[in-house]
């Protein structure tokens, strides 16, 4: 049995996953506008991953017979000046997501909602991987600084990413 407060929180988290997707779609557009086609590909795949995260909540809400509330998706901030800035903003966002998922996990534990708690553990683990990935790319970008060739090589690496649905 899912409590009304958990019902609201899960719907909010569903929206936050779509918002994450939206942020990365914006970053993908920023990258392709600036000739960083590899990074544009990387962020587009991140957008697809966040959509998959959202759909995992969506499916859970359906399985638990909870009303799905599709709220408006907030407009991402944008206005990045370079790739490092976009990745730093991404990491900050992921850290916030991790915190929200942790809080949600606390609530599930408090309410002895084992099914939701188990679902949330998947997200908590996924967040560790997400933060590590962003950190790794930020480290590389810091190493190359403003060096055009370095950015070019990183962009080439980012072009190699392919979408694998993390939820299946
Ligand atoms: Fe996510
Ligand atoms: Fe994420």
- Please tell me the number of the ligand nearest to residue 14's CA: 1
> How many Å apart are CA 115 and CA 65, to the nearest integer?
13
Count the alpha carbons within 13 Å of 112 in the hemisphere toward its beta carbon. 0
pLDDT per residue rounded down to tens, the chain (168 residues): 899 999 999 999 999 999 999 999 999 999 999 999 999 999 999 999 999 999 999 999 999 999 999 999 999 999 999 999 999 999 999 999 999 999 999 999 999 999 999 999 999 999 999 999 999 999 999 999 999 999 999 999 999 999 999 999
Q: Does residue 87 contact residue 141 with C-beta atoms inside 8 Å?
A: yes
**Cα(148) to centroid of ligand 1, in Å?**
31
pLDDT of residue 1: 85
Threshold 0.75, pTM exceeds = yes
**Cα(50) to centroid of ligand 2, in Å?**
6
């Amino acid at each position: 049995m899912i409590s009304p407060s958990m019902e609201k929180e899960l719907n909010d988290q569903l929206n936050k996953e779509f918002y994450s997707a939206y942020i990365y779609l914006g970053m993908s557009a920023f990258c392709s506008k600036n000739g960083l086609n590899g990074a544009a590909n990387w962020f587009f795949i991140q957008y697809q991953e966040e959509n998959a995260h959202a759909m995992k909540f969506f499916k859970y809400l359906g399985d638990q017979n909870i009303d799905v509330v599709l709220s408006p998706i907030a407009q991402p901030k944008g206005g990045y000046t370079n790739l490092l800035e976009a990745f730093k903003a991404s990491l900050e966002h992921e850290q916030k997501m991790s915190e929200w998922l942790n809080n949600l996990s606390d609530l599930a534990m408090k309410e002895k909602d084992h099914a939701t708690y188990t679902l949330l553990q998947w997200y908590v683990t996924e967040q560790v991987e997400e933060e590590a990935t962003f950190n790794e790319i930020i480290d590389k970008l810091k190493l190359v600084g403003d060096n055009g060739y370095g950015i070019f090589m990183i962009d080439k690496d980012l072009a190699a990413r392919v979408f694998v649905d993390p939820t299946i």
